[in-house]
Structure 1
Amino acid sequence: MTTSHHRVPFSYLDRQFQDLEGYLDEIRQVAKSADFTLGGAVAEFERRFASLCQMPYAVSVGSGTDAITLSLKMLGVGPGDEVITTPTTFIATIGPIVSTGARPVFVDSEDGFVIDPQLIEASITPQTKAILPVHYTGNVADMPRIAEIADKHGLPIVEDACQSIMGSIDGNPVGSWGKSACFSLHPLKNLNVWGDGGVIVTRFVEFAEHLRLYRNHGLANRDEVEMFGVNSRLDSVQAAIGNRLIGETESITARRVANAEFYDQALIGLEGFVSVPIRRPGVRHVYHLYIVRVARRNELLAYLNDHGVEAKVHYPIPMHLQPAAAYLGYKTGDFPVCEADCQSIITLPAHQHLTQDELDYTVEMIRRFYGE
């Protein structure tokens, strides 16, 4: 039960969509045109998304999960294959691997909650078909090093960029290293729509063309099927919302970065209680999630929630120890960094609609909890 009149929300959707009329006008236009499936709004959104990501091609699909699944399938990943990834992620990274019939092979994470490139090569086997790094929390994995390893072994990379739109390393955007990069438009993502949606960006025209066929049943036209595909299309209604919001993506990102920088500075002096991850030089971390490691995590979480700060944990159980992963044979102790993080991490509200008073109050509550 909340014991404070203050409220610092984790979700910002009520604030973002407080004025609905402009969005509803966009939807009315789609309805009037009856252009509901792969229509003009979708084509416009794909063009703008590709430009935003500095990529030549963008292919919209039904969700971020589908973006990963379709990318793997277009690479020929299937039964008997292995895909290297990290257990420091959400299930939507792992499910697509399993859905192809392949086996996820986990590699531990490093200080910034992303895959540790130093551990990847030891996990490569003759069955390895792809590497799937996750730009988790909005941080960008060490893609130059991962790309070196992938090139050495002739392996394609699919970047799970679902949390890292606008992320980059030395000015090179996510997607610069992989065969594709996969994005989510879920309502709580930095660029969001009013339901599920996803986008795949790629630098390769043939890959983009195959994706466009595969997402739409493999139809070359109304009467001819070029390949057996699936139905994974971004609805025109969702594309209309995306088109209205996409121009705000940079300002949204800048606000989140500024909020994270505020927290980083405001939490100085709490060493021993709060540990801020290393911020790698040259990396544009876009802070879909602002996560720190803390002492007495569960107590702090309860305290913040009781005092109106809607903190969360992403996530308390690592992927390799989930019941669904039991058949993979992993056990406690296999990935010590990931496992330790699951016991200590906490996510603070850091979205673009927070006020300075709300940020100050969040820090005040953390300091008060630790008696500082």
Structure 2
Amino acid sequence: MSTATWVEGAAGSLFDVDNLPWGVFSRPGEDPRVGVRIGDRVLDLAPVAAAEMLDVHHVFQESSLNALMAEGRAVRTSVRRWLTGLLTDETERDLVEPHLVPLADVTMHLAIEVADYVDFYASLDHASNVGRIFRPDQEPLLPNWRHLPVGYHGRSGTVVASGTPVVRPCGQRKAPTEDTPTYGPSRRLDIEAELGFVVGTPTAMGDRVEVDAFADHVFGVVGLNDWSARDIQAWEYVPLGPFLGKSFATSISQWVTPVEALDAAWVDLPGQDPRPLDYLSPDTARGLDIDVEIELNGEVVSRPPYRSMYWSPAQMLAHITVNGASLRTGDLYGSGTISGPDRDQRGSFLELSWGGTEPFAGGHTFLEDGDEVVLRYTAPGTSGGRIALGEVTGRIEPAR
């Protein structure tokens, strides 16, 4: 059997058979169901799996990936091998080709039913920049930051698919020059370019997930934009942390990249000092070599590197569960803003404008109504080229 796909235009693309991201799509007049992307087409899996009498064919008829994700790692990897065979073996072409649908002919949907949502703060450069902006006369990092992955619980009900408009949030704001807070639309609306990790296999309450069990529980990776109202956040977050400044919208990509597609992207962490506690397995934890691109109104304004992140995806998962908190199928956790050491690698407008004092991109400091942000991600593929993770887009609509 050839290792090259027979799907026209897919070989050598960012969506070749070494990628095969999962999504949920529909055609006009039909219910949403599970598909997989190859090139610029989506494979309608339900009829193909039924024709081949695949044991789990029913999961492809669902309107989310949750049923497939709950089947666990062994089924996930087995289905991936089956898919690779279908798309590289010419003898399967007559069966499969009629069910390849052009992306232009489908509507994509939120691929997962989000259970819990947790967001971290895992970039040393981002955390240091934020500390310098808000606490210029103090140490930029708080004492706990290098000892544990700092995070907060978000609002799963406002996680939306890429392309969903984002309405400017309203809330209490108090600028340093104001004596009392006022109510109104956020004046410092921001982005945070992140990666999101989607849990497939759950755990029982009281159990913990070790760092080396990451792939047993995480199904895949999504691009993620943690939209942030910095003025609302700054007034509310002491002493309990982000709340309304974060909970109004979080956008994720329509496609979920399988963790197996990232096998060639794992790299050593930049280094952790002091040595984290043993449950965070500092000797085996690894990072990901994923390039991120932030586009504002058609102009690339930053290229953050995920490989610079201080805390690894597996360490974040271990920390979520170290107290015995259970995982559920559909849990989503974000990496926190991805920022590198250079100015053109900053993953938020807060950093790019240095707290609103240094305009960029034609005078921007924070988001204006009508602005459109696109986040793009690429990584090394297992076939030697590159693969693309799902992009994340969002346009700002005026406050209501």
Q: TM-score, normalised by structure 2?
A: 0.26
Higher relative helix content: 1
Higher strand share: 2
TM-score (norm 1): 0.27
